[in-house]
């Protein structure tokens, strides 16, 4: 029983890590490396009294950390602590403890990581005070270690301590706390509290609006992050609103015929395909007209936008139109030697797949749940249509018939951007697609996936996933 619980916990943690990494990018790999405090980041930050051995060990440790060779980094990190045992324990030494904590966290020894971080916190608080900005990264590293160990309540407490210090030193609404908010979001997602997770992301945007003003271009990256969060929370309409705010801001700043409009327009068109199919072509037509006006625009921006117009044609069952757009997209992208056009189009990609909602998504009450996965194998035609859909992987403790039926139906309804070879759509066989979904841990919950309503889920339905965990 304990082994099974551990495997469920590990699987849940792995999916939280996957979602966090996709959602936040480099700022929020909450299951990855915690930041090393500046005093221990390298030789230039070392005190003048450090010996040559200490500096050499730090360089070796930091090089291994940079290469993500954590097992190798452990040896110089431990030696650093040993050689400094007889010397005064200052901030640089605390940084070395934090770096060792980071390494232990990466090696999945969360208890060892915790003890090093706590020792570092004690030393820094004694030297600089309990609200020194130096502690922000230390607390953040500890919090991310807790996330790695699925100790989410402790992670939240620790990360919110770091946020409090940030606000004391940099102001209540400082944007520098954004990485902390991303990590706090990840911790709440780990608990299944998607309501609070969303609030933390809204706080992230609100801080930027208060700092810069709603129409300031510096707010745009914050809107993109929130839109991405909404998309991964299966709230496409909310995501579209953020992209429309970006479009509005870019139009105000650059006018209505500038290349800066292509990015947000592409995102809006993609969401239109997801929730309304081709029934509302307003944004698609705006994108097409803008491309005609911007014949000399950046090749990558043109190519990516032409590919989205090809996707629209696929969903509209206009195979000839899709071939034309995809060919133009390939040609445009190939003009940039730094862009890998063959790699970009090397595999089919889903255009309008919507995962079926299950009981966890719809339920009004938060209950313990875990993540699992289902994998399918199928072919995709040059017209972007799937065939020979078969299930090839499903967790043993789930109900294959129900899950297979739901996902089979959705996959058969899905349109794909086909694989391109030299700019031409081709048949692709043996396509694999993995989907993650949640299920209740209680044995009596046997009703997953009974919702068989027709049509496409909107924010009203999928919002349950964001509100109710």
Coil, strand or helix at 229: helix
How far apart, in Å, are the Cα atoms of 126 and each of 141, 143, 444? 19, 20, 52
H-helix segments, 297-422:
299-315, 319-334, 341-344, 359-362, 400-413
pLDDT for 443 beyond 90: no
| Overall average pLDDT of the 384-396 stretch | 84
Helix (H) / strand (E) element for 380: namely strand 369-380
d(Cα 266, Cα 261) in Å, to the nearest integer? Answer: 9
Nearest residue to 58 (alpha-carbon basis) of 46, 48, 69: 46
pLDDT for 186 beyond 90:
yes
Q: For each of the domains in the chain, give its residue range(s) and CATH number, in order of start.
A: 33-170 (1.25.40.10), 256-346 (no CATH), 359-468 (3.30.2420.10)
Residue 379 scores a pLDDT above 60: yes
pLDDT digits (tens, 9 = 90+) for 110-162: 999 999 999 999 999 999 999 999 999 999 999 999 999 999 999 999 999 99
Sign of the Cα torsion 29, 34, 38, 42 reads negative
- Is 60 exceeded by the pLDDT of residue 25? no
pLDDT value of position 47:
46
């Amino acid at each position: 029983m304990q082994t099974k619980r551990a495997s469920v916990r590990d699987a849940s943690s792995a999916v939280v890590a996957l979602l966090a990494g996709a959602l936040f990018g480099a700022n929020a790999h909450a299951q990855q490396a915690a930041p090393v405090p500046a005093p221990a980041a390298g030789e230039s930050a070392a005190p003048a009294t450090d010996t040559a051995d200490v500096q050499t060990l730090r360089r070796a440790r930091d090089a291994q950390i940079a290469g993500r060779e954590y097992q190798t980094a452990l040896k110089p990190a431990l030696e650093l602590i040993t050689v400094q045992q007889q010397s005064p324990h200052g901030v640089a030494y605390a940084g070395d403890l934090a770096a060792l904590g980071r390494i232990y966290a990466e090696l999945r020894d969360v208890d060892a990581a915790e003890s090093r971080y706590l020792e570092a916190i004690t030393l820094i608080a004694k030297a600089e005070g309990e609200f020194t900005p130096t502690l922000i990264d230390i607390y953040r590293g500890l919090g991310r270690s807790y996330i790695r160990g699925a100790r989410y309540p402790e992670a939240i407490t620790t990360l919110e301590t770091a946020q409090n210090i940030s606000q004391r030193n940099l102001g209540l609404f400082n944007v520098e706390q954004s990485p902390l908010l991303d990590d706090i979001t990840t911790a709440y997602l780990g608990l299944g509290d998607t309501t609070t997770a969303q609030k933390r992301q809204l706080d992230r945007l609100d801080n930027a609006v208060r700092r810069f003003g709603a129409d300031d271009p510096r707010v745009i990256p914050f809107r993109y992050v929130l839109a991405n969060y909404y998309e991964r929370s299966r709230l496409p309409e909310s995501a579209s609103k953020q992209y429309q705010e970006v479009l509005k801001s870019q139009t105000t700043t650059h006018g209505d015929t500038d290349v800066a409009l292509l990015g947000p327009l592409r995102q809006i068109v993609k969401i239109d395909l997801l929730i309304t199919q081709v029934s509302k072509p307003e944004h698609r037509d705006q994108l097409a007209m803008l491309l005609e006006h911007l014949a000399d625009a950046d090749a990558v921006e043109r190519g990516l936008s032409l590919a989205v117009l090809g996707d629209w044609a696929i969903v509209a069952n206009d195979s000839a139109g899709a071939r034309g757009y995809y060919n133009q997209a390939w040609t445009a992208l190939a003009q940039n030697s730094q862009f890998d056009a063959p790699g970009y189009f090397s595999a089919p990609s889903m255009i309008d797949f919507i995962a079926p909602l299950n009981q966890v998504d719809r339920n009004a009450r938060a209950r313990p749940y875990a993540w699992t996965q289902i994998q399918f194998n199928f072919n995709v035609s040059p017209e972007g249509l799937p065939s020979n859909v078969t299930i090839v992987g499903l967790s043993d403790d789930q109900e294959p018939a129900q899950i297979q039926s739901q996902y089979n139906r959705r996959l058969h309804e899905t349109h794909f951007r086909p694989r391109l070879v030299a700019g031409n759509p081709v048949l692709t066989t043996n396509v694999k697609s993995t989907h993650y979904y949640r299920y209740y841990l209680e044995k009596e919950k046997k009703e997953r996936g009974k919702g068989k309503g027709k049509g496409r889920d909107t924010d009203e339905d999928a919002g349950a996933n964001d509100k109710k965990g």
